Structure 1
Amino acid sequence: MDGVWSWIAALPSAAETSPPLPLASSPTSGLSIFLSAATGDGFLTLSVSLHNPLTNTKILWVSEPITLSATKPQLPLLLQLLHELILLSPSPNLPHIPKLNPDQIFPALSQTTDTPSLLYLSLICRLFYLCAGDSPPEAALLLFRSFEASFACRCSLRAFLLAAGADREERLMRSIGYVVSKWCILRELQADPAQFAGGVCPAYAAEVHGLWILKGYAPVLAMHRSVGSPGFEPKDAVLRYSLAHQQLEALLQFEYSVCGRDPRFLKVAVHVDNIRLRVARLGFGGSGKEDDDVRIASAERHFPSRLRVYIGPAAGAGYAIGPSLGRSTGNLEEEVNLIRTVKGGFGFTNGGPGTGFRAKARWSRRARRRSWRWEQEAEGSAAVFEGVLCDVETGEEVAGWRMMGGGMSGRWGRAFGKGGGVVVAGDEMAEGVSWRMGRKWKEDGQVAVGGEGVAELFSERGAEQILRN
């Protein structure tokens, strides 16, 4: 199916009949899904059809008319698919999103080389929603058997998300995450565990307005599972199904600055601006008639307990020295308040007339315990920010607990928001990290002078590890 881009490019410009492109087929049942094209009046129209030898051919989807004179007719098709996936997002009670602007999206997609892979991913996800709706269940099964979930379109997906905005990004990634979750469930039912290797957990990094932004999305079933961990395998089928339709959404913002006051070197400093973790439910809601067990299972969710983020120069680069680390935050802080009160007066005392005097001293202690403990480390030239959820009483790491008969304890207090998310502000980790770079350095055969290009020299290595645990 990855040849959809080249097939559309080879379509004749005149009103000629072109053979359809098979997308998926089954030799045993004779069921097949194919893509066909029709031209007329200067327009090109694409359609997806389901062929069943026992019944007639059924048209599943028809594209909007595309001008034949377009330089790349694949881009209007890709734009329509992405817009429909955004509208199909399992995000209830969200405001309406306007249609994508071609003048804003096309330039971003034209500069990437893996846009054909993005077209393939968008088409396969759109076909899933079509096959999961009115089509026979055999069509969805046929589609998933020929579907290999991977995000080989990293550059084009990153370019589209940056151009489309955060609102569309959230809905699109939840729509794709819902499809990936279904694919993971099918793999488990077939006893054919997929070798994900992070391929279905897209993450990217960007530099915007003085901030390094790292974003990552990972359906829970597609995430790496730590070796030796007890795991969480609920026996209840309803609960297991509900937990399978959840996705981790991570956003990390780092504020950086380049200081050149010293004539010998440039100093690149990085501070945490904001870290947000959320486990979103991938569901379209119910009819309101579910029983108590279904509602309770839908309310259950996974929660993050450890975050490890890498940030620094490209691996193997020698143009930066460091990092210089700051202090790690403590898990317990205490404040001691001492109050002294002195009271005096004139008048009668117990022994008769005279002067009376009374003194009183009071002190109090207030302890503030943190559920999250943040530490800084260094691995090579990269700085590592690691957050660990701990028990406020014992300091024990929650990720190391094992499920007991009564389940996990909730002694860590308000570690999450009401929606189950984690928000870490920059003032909670005031200590930053820094690197020192020469005034002139040579990298990949090019010489850069001053502070120009510093943001580009620091790689996306943090995005690679954002969903590690």
Structure 2
Amino acid sequence: MDNIWSWIMSLPLQTDWPSAAAPSLLLASSPDKFILFKAECTTSSSSDATVAFSISLHEYNSSVSHTLWLSNPSPLSSSSVLHCLLLHQLIHEITSLSPSISCLNSNIYFEQESISRVVENLEENEASSFFSLTLLLRLFWLCTIDAPAEAGYLFFSELAENVYRALSCTGVISNFLLAVGPDVEQRYMRSLGYMLSKWCLLRDIQAGSMLNAEPIPAACFSYATTVHGLFVHKAYAPVLAMARLRAAETNKDELVGEPKESALRYALAHQQLELVVQLDYIVCMQDPRFIRVDIHVDSLRFHVVRLGYNRQDDETELEEQDEIEIESERHFPSRVRFWVGPVPGSTYATGPSLGRSSGNPEREVETTQTVKGGFMAGMKSKGIRAKVRSSTRTRNRSWRWEQEADGSAAVFEGVLCDTATCTEVATWRPGSAVTDPRTGMRRRWRGPGRAFSKKGGLVVAGDELPEGVTWRVGREMEGKKVRWRVGGRFWVSYFANEVRSGYWETRCVEWNHEVELALVAGGGSQIVNG
């Protein structure tokens, strides 16, 4: 699978094409069957030679074969043209099969030139990894939807080990996603996330439990860049690939290792964390003594999407209500911690000047005192009656945001708290002294005081975090490009929402990247792999 890129480059020209048998490459095999990737050339008097690629399932010691996939004919002019045309078709078909497609972008087209711009600047090992990953993804959808069961068995038993190696092309994926735009990016990454979720689920089933499953960092993809005055950090992580926080063994009756309900376990396995952090940066040269770099939060989008297909209206009526409720169960954001600043060890900038104090809760106390007195006729002693009334008013928010400094970096942190118990959701464990927040977090997608959007995500804009952070840089750095770090650590949690289940968990993932910042007004943009 790793040599398929070089195999396409070695295909002969029209005059050298073999007439006996079409060139083929073995993708996977078992004692009974095997999968071939084949190239067939056709010529005619009125046109140049064209080549078409196919994927087929064969039986040993038999002429029986089943064509799984056939590409569009491509002119046999050069290997680079073949690569670009084949990649364009594969990606177009992958994005059309993507789960969780929004109704706003049902038809998406992207130009072949965007693929060509990415491919022409790649080294052979980078191009080979990206092409292998894309072909693996297309083959996965073939085995999932169209191919016989034998092909699916071959894929998961023989080709799954190639997934980890193919995921090493993070830099190529970043350039590709920037070239095709956010709509194609979303579809491609959700299609990839669906395959990776199946991969993680299969690993957990083979291990017998997902309680002790190790995280898979390679399956948690992210990149960072500077573009149009923004630091942009985008990330995608299948929930099963994230690290699972361990429970404190204080109350064994409360501890739940994994969902007892198989349907709930299946639903929670097909979910993916998607986040976008956009930070507005301004390089100011007005002061003759120093250069000022200002950072403000432009927006933060933090969603956990269900990787699946929506039912049609007629199918929904036939399904049991319990199954529909289980499919609506999903993890939710519970803590956010992201940072930005010069790389560690930098001496050209001061530590950040923060713009937000610690999130002390606001409390208003109102006291009313009323004193009533009077003389009682006919009594030897005088009596006085007093009455005091007091009231307290507090204002709580579900998300509490703070700023910190960690060396030369500024840290933004948000923690989800249950408004009923004031418990931090991400740090709660069954059996701990902290009040159980599960009751207050039920039906969390409803009501005017909900902590999330209707789709279950977290959206924070500049009006929620208007305070900025500032660095001062010496004037001797003017005109230079410096490396800055952008990254974060993100938590998702799960408590039962609509269904009855005692299962709970919290998972987290961390990313670190470096970007280049030009210390000039209106600096350019560039990705630097972290």
Query: What's the TM-score, normalizing by structure 2?
Result: 0.75
* Equivalence for 2:280: 255
Q: Mark the CA change 1:364 to 1:258 in structure 2 (over 3 Å): closer, same or farther.
A: farther
Please report how far the alpha carbon of residue 337 of structure 1 lies from its aligned counterpart in structure 2 after TM superposition: 10
Farther-moved stretch of structure 1 (130-139 vs 155-164): 130-139
* Equivalence for 2:481: 453
Match of 1:416 among 447, 452, 461: 452
Q: Mark the CA change 1:317 to 1:80 in structure 2 (over 3 Å): closer, same or farther.
A: farther
What amino acid maps onto 1:205 in structure 2? Answer: A
Please report how far the alpha carbon of residue 422 of structure 1 lies from its aligned counterpart in structure 2 after TM superposition: 0.6
* Equivalence for 1:368: 395
Please report how far the alpha carbon of residue 57 of structure 1 lies from its aligned counterpart in structure 2 after TM superposition: 1.3
* Equivalence for 2:497: none
Deviations 1:374-397 (A, max 9, x none): 122233322222211112244321
* CA distance in 2 between partners of 1:314 and 1:71 (Å): 41
* Equivalence for 1:117: 129
* Equivalence for 1:237: 262
Please report how far the alpha carbon of residue 460 of structure 1 lies from its aligned counterpart in structure 2 after TM superposition: 4.4
* CA distance in 2 between partners of 1:115 and 1:314 (Å): 30
Q: Give matches, 1:97-136, under 5 Å.
A: 97-113=107-123, 114-136=126-148
In percent, how many aligned pairs have the same letter?
A: 47
Verify the 8 A CA contact 1:269 1:433 in the aligned structure 2.
yes
What amino acid maps onto 2:181 in structure 1? Answer: G
User: Is the aligned partner of 1:180 residue 2:190?
Assistant: no
* CA distance in 2 between partners of 1:460 and 1:55 (Å): 56
* Equivalence for 1:60: 68
* Equivalence for 1:200: 219
* CA distance in 1 between partners of 2:287 and 2:319 (Å): 67
Deviations 1:251-298 (A, max 9, x none): 111000111223232121111111111111111133322212211101
* Equivalence for 1:170: 186
Match of 1:380 among 391, 400, 407: 407
Q: Give matches, 1:40-51, under 5 Å.
A: 40-41=42-43, 42-51=49-58
What amino acid maps onto 2:440 in structure 1? Answer: G
Q: Mark the CA change 1:56 to 1:337 in structure 2 (over 3 Å): closer, same or farther.
A: farther
Verify the 8 A CA contact 2:40 2:52 in the aligned structure 1.
yes
Deviations 1:82-127 (A, max 9, x none): 1111100112452333332012331133234323211111111110
Verify the 8 A CA contact 2:361 2:395 in the aligned structure 1.
yes
Verify the 8 A CA contact 1:323 1:378 in the aligned structure 2.
yes
Q: Mark the CA change 1:317 to 1:65 in structure 2 (over 3 Å): closer, same or farther.
A: farther
Please report how far the alpha carbon of residue 366 of structure 1 lies from its aligned counterpart in structure 2 after TM superposition: 6.0
Verify the 8 A CA contact 2:98 2:188 in the aligned structure 1.
yes
* CA distance in 2 between partners of 1:407 and 1:259 (Å): 45
* CA distance in 2 between partners of 1:74 and 1:97 (Å): 24
CA RMSD of aligned residues (A): 3.0
Please report how far the alpha carbon of residue 79 of structure 1 lies from its aligned counterpart in structure 2 after TM superposition: 1.4
Deviations 1:3-32 (A, max 9, x none): 111111111112325541111112xx3321
Please report how far the alpha carbon of residue 336 of structure 1 lies from its aligned counterpart in structure 2 after TM superposition: 8.5
* Equivalence for 1:216: 235
Q: Mark the CA change 1:147 to 1:315 in structure 2 (over 3 Å): closer, same or farther.
A: farther
- Equivalenced residues, count: 433
Please report how far the alpha carbon of residue 232 of structure 1 lies from its aligned counterpart in structure 2 after TM superposition: 6.4
Deviations 1:169-223 (A, max 9, x none): 1111111111111111111111188754421011111222111111111111111
Match of 1:20 among 21, 24, 37: 24
Give SS of 1:130's match: helix
* Equivalence for 1:344: none
Verify the 8 A CA contact 2:452 2:458 in the aligned structure 1.
yes
Give SS of 2:299's match: strand
Give SS of 1:323's match: coil
Q: Mark the CA change 1:317 to 1:21 in structure 2 (over 3 Å): closer, same or farther.
A: farther
Give SS of 2:174's match: helix
Verify the 8 A CA contact 1:308 1:468 in the aligned structure 2.
no
Unmatched 5+ stretches in structure 1 = 339-362, 442-448
Please report how far the alpha carbon of residue 410 of structure 1 lies from its aligned counterpart in structure 2 after TM superposition: 2.1
User: Is the aligned partner of 1:155 residue 2:171?
Assistant: yes
Please report how far the alpha carbon of residue 364 of structure 1 lies from its aligned counterpart in structure 2 after TM superposition: 9.6
Q: Mark the CA change 1:46 to 1:408 in structure 2 (over 3 Å): closer, same or farther.
A: same
